[in-house]
Amino acid sequence: MTHAHENSPEEAPTQRQRILVCQQNRRGDSKIAGIEEFGGNAFVIERIEIEPHLPEIIDDTDEFLPREINADLVLDFLTHPDLSYDLAARCRGLAIPVIASGRKHGQKGVLTPPTCCSLEVADGLGLYGRCFGAPVYRVAMTGNRIARIEVLRGAPCGASWDAAREVIGLPADEAVERIGLETQYVCTNDPAGWDPIWGKSPVHVAGHRHAAALKAAIDKTAAK
């Protein structure tokens, strides 16, 4: 098992990537914890916590949003659409990329994967985009069983690592099914949510992404 980004002191990045997390209801806490645990020392995280109970319509968001945004990347875990819209507008003016997972968004340029673990590799996201998003595994097999598994890219909540630990030693087919279930157990998305486009809840989407990633890793190893 490996972290998404491991650095010895000699290999430590000269400039750590600055991430601003804007959240309500502490929706980003599990992602912050995962980035800190599995991102090595490559990230500096600042968080903005906005009170959960707000007016239905906010005409002036200046009192809630930061006056200055000094970040390389913004993660939007806000629930109020006015705040998300204006935050994205500010970031767009500063050429700062925004990821708002699981959201419908009115601003252009905002990445809105259905789940954090559905984020594909994209230009402009820096080290975060290489370390976190749609999972990528590398496996070693003993016969038909998983002998070792490495997480090359994983969900920022840490589910990719937690689920992978549970499939070591299992036969390949069983491991693929099991990792999807294990991901659903630890996924921090709302299991009651239902996306009409995907036809699944975010939790089921996360399980499917991890099962597909492990199958791809197994197939790649078998083809060598």
140 lies in the same domain as 106 = no
Task: Compute the C-alpha angle 72/94/55, nearest 5°.
Answer: 95
> How many domains does one find in the chain?
2
43 lies in the same domain as 75 = yes
Residue 203 lies in a domain: yes
Q: How confident is the model at residue 12 (pLDDT cuts 50, 70, 90)?
A: very low
109 lies in the same domain as 156 = no
d(CA 150, CA 59): 48
Interval 16-37: pLDDT, tens: 999 999 999 899 999 999 999 9
Choose one of 114, 145, 175: the last residue of a domain.
Answer: 114
85 lies in the same domain as 142 = no
Interval 126-174: pLDDT, tens: 999 999 999 999 999 999 999 999 999 999 999 999 999 999 999 999 9
107 lies in the same domain as 19 = yes
Q: What domain range includes position 97?
A: 9-114
Letter for the amino acid at 79? Answer: T
45 lies in the same domain as 96 = yes
34 token code pair: 């995962």
- Give the CATH number for residue 31: 3.40.50.2300
Interval 43-83: pLDDT, tens: 999 999 998 889 899 999 999 999 899 999 999 999 999 99
Q: What does the DSSP 8-state code read for residue 109?
A: T
Residue 140 lies in a domain: yes
Residue 122 lies in a domain: no
51 lies in the same domain as 140 = no
Residue 170 lies in a domain: yes
164 lies in the same domain as 79 = no
d(CA 88, CA 98): 7
Interval 96-131: pLDDT, tens: 999 999 887 767 789 999 899 999 999 899 999 999
Strands 145-153 and 136-142: antiparallel
Interval 167-193: pLDDT, tens: 999 999 999 999 999 999 988 876 665
